């Protein structure tokens, strides 16, 4: 079983109705037993899945408000996620940063609120193609990571961080395992130097597929994967869990 020790987080983004989500999860349940499998769902599908299958699989959100509560039409707070027993929440996904203009300061607030409400954060960081080409990868990752983590470093002992190069997401061009190893090892050293007490649980995300999954999981630096597109297909998801 691939995910008895390593972690698989599926990010379903804005896909699947409640009926489609229910059918998928119901069929998936027999295959997840004994494995670390989590699915990040759109808000409307989250509570029904926690109610129906929450004892078998972990479900979480894809984002959260940076405000604790108030007049923020359309937003969902960390306290509300805690109220439905969401297991985790993704923050700082590059689609949120780019399409919804989320800044490092907003991501830092989200992290703080999730910790205050006992929801496990999954912090996404990643460089664009231009940043990679101009040799700025580590600089960008350091800024995204430390701006979120430093203000709350005394409030946690470990953190799940997903390294998702923006150029690899939804592009069918995953980073190579060598590239991922290089970045993760530099990141680990950086965190060790700046916040020795924090243990990072490092995921790779960006065009993970049945073809390249094992090349990432075989690395001792990779604790798991964050999968978008490939996790939407039932047969592919099932094969991942072999």
Residues noted as catalytic: 93, 164
Size of site (CB under 6 A) for ligand PGA: 13
Any contact of residue 164 with ligand PGA (CB under 6 A)?
yes
Give the Cα separation of 9 and 61 in Å (integer): 11
Q: At what angle do helices 104-116 and 137-149 cross, to 10 degrees?
A: 40
Q: Which of 169, 195, 217, 221 binds ligand PGA (CB under 6 A)?
A: 169
Beta bridge partners of 225: 8, 204
Beta bridge partners of 224: 7, 203
Task: Supply the minimum distance, in Å, between the C-beta of residue 225 and ligand PGA.
Answer: 9
Q: Please, are residues 93 and 63 in contact by the beta-carbon 8 Å criterion?
A: yes
Q: Which of 60, 177, 206, 224 binds ligand PGA (CB under 6 A)?
A: 206
The one segment of 58-66, 141-149, 180-188, 201-209 that binds ligand PGA by CB under 6 A = 201-209
Give the torsion sign (CA, 142, 96, 21, 88). Answer: positive
Give the Cα separation of 162 and 160 in Å (integer): 7
Chain residues 6-45 in contact with ligand PGA, contact rule CB under 6 A? 11
Task: Supply the minimum distance, in Å, between the C-beta of residue 25 and ligand PGA.
Answer: 19
| Count of C-beta atoms within a 10 Å radius of residue 179 | 16
Is the Cβ of residue 167 or residue 195 nearer to ligand PGA in the bound state? 167
The one segment of 15-23, 28-36, 177-185, 204-212 that binds ligand PGA by CB under 6 A = 204-212
Any contact of residue 227 with ligand PGA (CB under 6 A)?
yes
Q: Please, are residues 132 and 102 in contact by the beta-carbon 8 Å criterion?
A: no
Q: What is the three-class DSSP state of 226?
A: strand
Any contact of residue 207 with ligand PGA (CB under 6 A)?
yes
Task: Supply the minimum distance, in Å, between the C-beta of residue 111 and ligand PGA.
Answer: 18
List contacts with ligand PGA (CB under 6 A): 11, 164, 169-170, 205-208, 226-230
């Amino acid at each position: 079983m691939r995910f008895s020790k390593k972690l698989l987080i599926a990010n379903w983004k804005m896909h699947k109705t409640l009926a489609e989500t229910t059918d998928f999860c119901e069929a998936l349940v027999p295959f997840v037993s004994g494995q670390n499998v989590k699915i990040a769902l759109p808000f409307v599908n989250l509570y029904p899945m926690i109610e129906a299958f929450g004892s078998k699989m972990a479900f979480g959100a894809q984002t959260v408000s940076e405000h604790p509560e108030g007049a923020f039409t359309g937003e969902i707070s960390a306290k509300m996620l805690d109220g439905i027993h969401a297991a985790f929440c993704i923050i700082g996904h590059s689609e949120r940063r780019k399409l919804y203009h989320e800044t490092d300061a907003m991501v830092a607030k989200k992290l703080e609120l999730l910790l205050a409400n006992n929801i496990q954060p999954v912090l996404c960081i990643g460089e664009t193609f231009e940043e990679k080409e101009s040799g700025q990868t580590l600089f960008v990752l350091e800024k995204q990571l430390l701006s979120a983590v430093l203000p709350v470093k005394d409030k946690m002992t470990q953190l799940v961080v997903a390294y998702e190069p923006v150029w690899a997401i939804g592009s069918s061009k995953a980073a190579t395992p060598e590239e991922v190893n290089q970045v993760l090892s530099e990141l680990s050293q950086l965190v060790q130097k700046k916040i020795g007490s924090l243990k990072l649980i490092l995921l790779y995300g960006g065009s993970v597929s049945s073809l390249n999954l094992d090349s990432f999981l075989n690395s001792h630096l990779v604790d798991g994967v964050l999968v978008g597109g490939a996790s939407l297909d039932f047969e592919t998801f099932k094969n991942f869990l072999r």
